[in-house]
A and B are shown apart, each in its own frame.
Chain A
Amino acid sequence: DAKTTQPNSMESNEEEPVHLPCNHSTISGTDYIHWYRQLPSQGPEYVIHGLTSNVNNRMASLAIAEDRKSSTLILHRATLRDAAVYYCILRDVFGSYIPTFGRGTSLIVHP
């Protein structure tokens, strides 16, 4: 499976934008990029996914590089409730979808 690389941790101030990077240099043409987050004492939850184009939903935006070797999850205005571990994973659209998680990025939000 193609792997992803994320920083161990990032910090932000409340109400500021946050850009969480993910590198996936070995991504294949049929890999979707999925983002999950895990709030304290909860299971991971789906945030957003995309293939080539940038995507927006009520939770976040996903910016995908033109060569698809990296992507960025954007939280437009961080809140204290966004403090979580964020995971970037790849899903092969033609294969079985088995979410395999790395260590993710621990986001700290300061008031």
Chain B
Amino acid sequence: DAGVIQSPRHEVTEMGQEVTLRCKPISGHDYLFWYRQTMMRGLELLIYFNNNVPIDDSGMPEDRFSAKMPNASFSTLKIQPSEPRDSAVYFCASSLRDRGSAFFGQGTRLTVV
């Protein structure tokens, strides 16, 4: 397996634009996590899914953020409208509950100007 795949790796957008980050988890994993990492706040959990169902989105900062998982092999994190303070590295991770360890993608570095 190629691991967790995120796209794009880098995204630069203007304030007010819609941004969509994509994630393909490892095949067979039943948990999917979205994280955001900044120097100020470290690695924060935004939302996680179990069997494609969102379980806890309490980490999503505002209504401008939304996440979907239409099937077991694909998830998106959307920011609309984007703001400069959304600039961060966004990570997707997946895991098998009974295996415990989570596998992370390479991340998407988002810059909102």
A residues whose Cβ falls under 8 Å from a Cβ of B: 32, 34, 36, 38, 42-46, 49, 87, 91, 96-103
Q: Contact between A96 and B107 (Cβ–Cβ < 8 Å)?
A: no
Q: State the CA gap A102–B31 with chains docked (Å).
A: 20
Q: B43-58, CB under 8 A of A: which get 1 and which 0?
A: 1010010100001100
Q: Contact between B104 and A43 (Cβ–Cβ < 8 Å)?
A: yes
Q: Which of A34, A44, A97, A102 contacts B104 (CB 8 A)?
A: A44
Q: Select from chain A the residue with minimum beta-carbon distance to B97.
A: A97
Q: State the CA gap A56–B55 with chains docked (Å).
A: 34
**How many residues of chain B are within 8 Å of chain A by beta carbon?**
23
B residues whose Cβ falls under 8 Å from a Cβ of A: 4, 31, 33, 35, 42-43, 45, 48, 50, 55-56, 91, 93, 95, 97, 100-107
Q: Assuming the A-B contacts A43-B91, A43-B93, A43-B106, are A97 and B100 also in contact, with contact meaning beta carbons closer than 8 angstroms in the complex?
A: yes
Contacts of B100 in A (CB 8 A): 32, 34, 49, 91, 97
Q: State the CA gap A66–B51 with chains docked (Å).
A: 37
Listed from nearest, the 3 A-B pairs whose CB atoms lie closest are A43-B104, A46-B101, A101-B43
Q: Contact between A101 and B48 (Cβ–Cβ < 8 Å)?
A: no
Task: Beyond A43-B105, A99-B45, A101-B43, list 5 extra A-B contacts (CB 8 Å).
Answer: A36-B102, A44-B91, A87-B43, A97-B95, A97-B100
Q: State the CA gap A91–B42 with chains docked (Å).
A: 19
Q: Contact between A98 and B106 (Cβ–Cβ < 8 Å)?
A: no
Q: Assuming the A-B contacts A43-B91, A44-B43, are A99 and B106 also in contact, with contact meaning beta carbons closer than 8 angstroms in the complex?
A: no
